[in-house]
Amino acid sequence: MNVDYDKYELVCGLEVHIQMLTKTKAYVSDSYFYGALPNTQVSPITLGHPGTLPKSNKKVIEYGIRLGLACNSEITREMYYDRKNYFYADLPKGYQVTQDATPICWGGYIDIQTDGVDKRIELTRIHMEEDSGKSIHDQDPFNTLVDFNRAGVPLLEIVTEPVFSSSSEAYQFLSEVRKLIRYLEICDGNMEEGSMRCDANVSVRIKGQKELGQRTEVKNMNSISNVKKAIEFETKRQIEELEKGNSIVMETRSFDAVNQTTFSLRAKSEAHDYRYFPEPDLLPLLVTEKQIQDVKAELPPLPWELLSKYINDFGLSKYDAEILTEDKALALYYEEVVAHTNKYKSAANWLIGDVKSWLNQNAVPVKDFPLEPKKISDLIAIIDEGKVSHSVASQSIFPVMVKELDKSPLEIAEGLNLIQDSDEDNILEFVKEAIAKYPQKVEEYKNGNKGLIGLFMGEVMKLSQRKADPKAANKILRELLEK
């Protein structure tokens, strides 16, 4: 079939569930951490046994406010929890405590950039809810097993407006969300472990049409790139259905990562009436102005604020600024380095280059990097003062700095006899000696083989035992050779 895909456009809205990094669950003091033995983090309250009473975890509200403030959402002052009733084997209480009518945040936005184009992604709402347990289908050939550890773990759900018009925008948005929640330290953002999950609502319509098309909802994607692939597959599938004269049915679909397709899980028409009503066992919540101000005062720098500062105030390239801000720990380290130096570009180069390679080689996360940030600025300073060359600093001083943590770069340079000689008279002697050694090459240089400068530089460095200031040596060499 000859399908004109370009006739259509995609409309997508995302629902992102993020699991809070709280020590205990949303309404009970059971602890939760990923990877614990099944059903070891479960109390009668988690199971909702008769006579038990839940109690809401204050941290969850604080985290919700933190996220809402970062997204410029309106924080709800008076709210209550609702019960969403449905039956599922891994839902021990037969209902999920959530927020229906009074989400903790309304509105707000997250800005993204896709292929150089800025776009503001509007959020509909952010609400608090609890997770269900987990059904395990692949460990017993005949039965589905249930692990209730995750039941009652607090989630925030971010719901966007139907504003994505490409799978790349969705990809960028999820990358920004993941970075943000890691900066805010409210969720670890690990999609592979299920602590960040995304449902993609996908519809298509003829370009120029106002009304939205019928949507399907795709679940079960465990990476950001799989969300992108699922949206792409689903867009194509829907266009082909419409072109065949079929209509799209409202349904929940699952992503098959192996075949990179989606398949129908259940029709939405089979969806339950959730019979929401206010949760009678939990008190309504009042958020005060003071609470909001307290959370605001404790907000860390946000990734886009740092990005903009590095590009606009520090003059870094977008590429460098993105690498520095990708990981909060690296950005905070950089912040400390530049508190001691205004060589912003050199500081960025050191972190993106030597420091990151050291971390990779030693499989150490940035937060465990042993060197104090000031040492990096000290190293930049002695290069700047002409005491050591950049290459000596990188090859001979930095590797010692990370081992001998109490020594300054200058002490190390002196100890290893690496302080370079910037005395032009001394360098002139080495240059003359180097030139005298290769009269033939001097001729060739003069005849246009400028690449030979490397040979002479090598000789000067050898004669000076690598201590001649390369910048000065290069300058003097050129002067003499071009005479």
Nearer to Mg ion, 28 or 218 (CB): 218
Give the CA dihedral 479, 480, 481, 483, nearest 10 degrees: 80
322 binds ligand ADP (CB under 6 A): no
The binder of ligand ADP chosen from 90, 100, 122, 161 (CB under 6 A): 161
Nearer to Mg ion, 77 or 275 (CB): 275
Residue 14: name its binding partner from ligand ADP, Mg ion, none (Cβ under 5 to 8 Å by kind).
ligand ADP
235 binds ligand ADP (CB under 6 A): no
162 binds ligand ADP (CB under 6 A): yes
Residue 12: name its binding partner from ligand ADP, Mg ion, none (Cβ under 5 to 8 Å by kind).
ligand ADP
User: Rounded to the nearest whole angstrom, what is the least distance from the CB of residue 13 to Mg ion in the complex?
Assistant: 9
Nearer to ligand ADP, 211 or 313 (CB): 211
User: Rounded to the nearest whole angstrom, what is the least distance from the CB of residue 204 to ligand ADP in the complex?
Assistant: 9
User: Rounded to the nearest whole angstrom, what is the least distance from the CB of residue 271 to ligand ADP in the complex?
Assistant: 8
160 binds ligand ADP (CB under 6 A): yes
Residue 3: name its binding partner from Mg ion, ligand ADP, none (Cβ under 5 to 8 Å by kind).
none
Distance CA 424, CA 275 (A): 86
15 binds ligand ADP (CB under 6 A): yes
User: Rounded to the nearest whole angstrom, what is the least distance from the CB of residue 311 to Mg ion in the complex?
Assistant: 36
Is-contact 373 348, C-beta < 8 A? Answer: no
13 binds ligand ADP (CB under 6 A): yes
Residue 241: name its binding partner from ligand ADP, Mg ion, none (Cβ under 5 to 8 Å by kind).
none
86 binds ligand ADP (CB under 6 A): no
Site size for ligand ADP (CB under 6 A): 16
Give every CB contact of residue 291 below 8 A, 6+ residues apart in sequence.
Answer: 61, 62, 65
174 binds ligand ADP (CB under 6 A): no
The binder of ligand ADP chosen from 12, 112, 126, 434 (CB under 6 A): 12
Q: Tell which positions 183-222 bind ligand ADP, by CB under 6 A.
A: 201-203, 212-213, 215, 217
User: Rounded to the nearest whole angstrom, what is the least distance from the CB of residue 57 to Mg ion in the complex?
Assistant: 24
User: Rounded to the nearest whole angstrom, what is the least distance from the CB of residue 164 to ligand ADP in the complex?
Assistant: 8
Q: Tell which positions 206-245 bind Mg ion, by CB under 5 A.
A: none
Neighbours of 162 (CB within 10 A): 16
Nearer to ligand ADP, 25 or 228 (CB): 228
Residue 427: name its binding partner from ligand ADP, Mg ion, none (Cβ under 5 to 8 Å by kind).
none
Q: Tell which positions 13-72 bind Mg ion, by CB under 5 A.
A: 15
Nearer to ligand ADP, 61 or 198 (CB): 198
332 binds ligand ADP (CB under 6 A): no
Residue 206: name its binding partner from ligand ADP, Mg ion, none (Cβ under 5 to 8 Å by kind).
none
Q: Which stretches of the chain bind ligand ADP, using CB under 6 A?
A: 11-15, 159-162, 201-203, 212-213, 215, 217
Interacting residues toward Mg ion by CB under 5 A? 15
